[in-house]
Amino acid sequence: TTSVMHTVLVPVKQDQQEIFLQDVIRGLSAKNKYLDSKYFYDAEGDRLFQEIMRCHEYYPTNCEMEILQEQSAAISQTILSYTNRFDVVELGAGDATKSIHLLRELLNTGKDFTYYPVDISGNVITQLEQSLPSQLPALKVHGLHGEYFDMLQEANVLSDKNKVVLCMGGNIGNFTPVEARKFARQLRNYLQPGDLVMIGFDLKKHPQIILDAYNDSAGITKDFNLNLLKRINRELGGNFDITKFDHYPTYDPGTGACKSYLVSLEEQDVTVGGQTFHFGLHEYIYMEISQKYDLEATEQLAVQSGFETVANFFDNRKWFADNMWLC
Residues at the contact surface with ligand AVI, assessed by CB under 6 A: 52, 60, 169-171, 173-174, 214, 221, 224, 288, 290
d(C-alpha 63, C-alpha 196), whole Å: 22
Smaller CB distance to ligand AVI: residue 78 or 171? Answer: 171
Backbone torsions φ then ψ of 20, nearest 5 degrees: -55, -50
Q: Find the shortest distance in angstroms from Cβ 204 to ligand AVI.
A: 14
Q: Which residue is nearest to ligand AVI (CB)?
A: 290
Q: Find the shortest distance in angstroms from Cβ 320 to ligand AVI.
A: 11
Nearest one of 200, 215, 217, 223 to 291, comparing CA atoms: 200
Q: Find the shortest distance in angstroms from Cβ 30 to ligand AVI.
A: 21
Backbone torsions φ then ψ of 140, nearest 5 degrees: -90, 125
d(C-alpha 68, C-alpha 189), whole Å: 27
Smaller CB distance to ligand AVI: residue 62 or 171? Answer: 171
Q: Find the shortest distance in angstroms from Cβ 260 to ligand AVI.
A: 7
Q: Find the shortest distance in angstroms from Cβ 21 to ligand AVI.
A: 23
What is the number of alpha carbons within 13 Å of residue 77 lying toward its C-beta? 6
Smaller CB distance to ligand AVI: residue 117 or 173? Answer: 173
Other Cβ atoms less than 10 A from the Cβ of 172: the count is 23
Smaller CB distance to ligand AVI: residue 117 or 169? Answer: 169
Residue 72 Cα distances to 113, 203, 320, angstroms: 16, 20, 15
Smaller CB distance to ligand AVI: residue 221 or 305? Answer: 221
Q: Find the shortest distance in angstroms from Cβ 9 to ligand AVI.
A: 28
Nearest one of 117, 114, 186 to 145, comparing CA atoms: 117
H or E segment to which residue 160 belongs: none
Smaller CB distance to ligand AVI: residue 105 or 288? Answer: 288
